[in-house]
Amino acid sequence: MFESLQIFSSIAVAIFIEAAPFLLIGSLLASLFEVFAEEDLIARLVPRHPFKGILFGLFIGMLLPTCECGIVPIVRRMLGKGVPPATAVTYMFAAPVINPIVLLSTYVAFRGDLWMVGGRIILVAIPAAVMGWILADASARHLLLSSSMSQHDPHGCSCGHDHNHMSSRLLEVLKHTAAEFLSMGKFLLMGAIITALFKTFTPAGVLDLFESSELLAIIVMMSLAILLSVCSEADAFVAASFSSFPSAAQLAFLAIGPMVDLKLIAMFSAVFKRRIMFYLIVGPVLLVFGLAVILSVILGRV
């Protein structure tokens, strides 16, 4: 029993220590975006054609990286400022993954495996683009709850500080970074603990079943990603710890978590109408699962 506890603690601590720096960097970038990004400029630049808007959504996801924990309020503001849904929805699903910090963390977690980095991009970019296309003809009024549309801009603070002053804005960045890191750090810690428990105490026969059945492995890893709600800057280290699982299942974990997890479902329910919320949850799940199965077929595993 003591040996099992040692293994458990070693796995949990290793995952947390490896992932924490990337979570901190991601929190800082998200905070810089929150304080300095001019969404009015994005609204003016975005193309109106759905296809071009989808490509633009993928592109700004690389330039304006945002953790999934903060992406929904940003997209709500974008839609309210006139950004077409094709761009806003694509950006919402793509930005938490298709950005340098997350891709670098994936590269480090998988020890320089570019196949895993490229696979993660594909399994996120395609569902993000499809969801943007599906909702391209909708309007903000059809997508958002009326209470969500009437909310004040979060930048409009009543604290009495001059947020246009550079020192005040830098202080806001630090506050946002600290709050973001502490908020998401608990999800990372919980994910590391649950992963360590799963790997340490799950009977070998059960693990063998997961590892030998590609479809079951994909379902299990996607379910874990949704339940664990680990931030996209850190989830690659959790996925990499399941080294005996098929790569398609690991990629499914990396793709679905930043698009649909428990915290995102809660945010969707507070911002989007119920029917739209259903699309935003079921659509990515089905698309990621289908792509992971296709990948398995290509690799000759199914």
CB 17 within 8 A of CB 182: no
Q: Percentages helix, strand, coil for the chain, rounded to the nearest 5?
A: 75, 0, 25
**Is residue 159 pLDDT above 50, yes or no?**
no
**Is residue 7 pLDDT above 90, yes or no?**
no
pLDDT at res. 18: 77
The mean-pLDDT minimum among 139-148, 179-188, 256-265, 286-295 falls in 179-188
Residue 6: in which H helix or E strand, if any?
helix 2-36
**Is residue 235 pLDDT above 50, yes or no?**
yes
Distance (Å, rounded) from C-alpha 181 to C-alpha 109? 19
CB 264 within 8 A of CB 93: no
- 291, 295, 299: which is closest to 124 by C-alpha? 291
The helix/strand count (H/E) of the chain reads as 16, 0
Residues of the chain with pLDDT > 90, as a percent, come to 38
Q: What is the mean pLDDT of residues 2-27?
A: 79
CB 267 within 8 A of CB 135: no
- Residue with the bigger pLDDT between 272 and 36: it is 272
- Residue with the bigger pLDDT between 245 and 36: it is 245
Residue 63: pLDDT band with limits 50, 70, 90: confident
35 token code pair: 């304080």
CB 60 within 8 A of CB 42: yes
Reported pTM: 0.80
pLDDT at res. 39: 60
Q: What is the mean pLDDT of residues 252-268?
A: 91
Q: What is the mean pLDDT of residues 203-225?
A: 83
Give the three-class secondary structure for 164.
coil
- The pLDDT mean for the chain works out to 83
What letter represents residue 153's amino acid?
D
Q: What is the mean pLDDT of residues 254-283?
A: 92
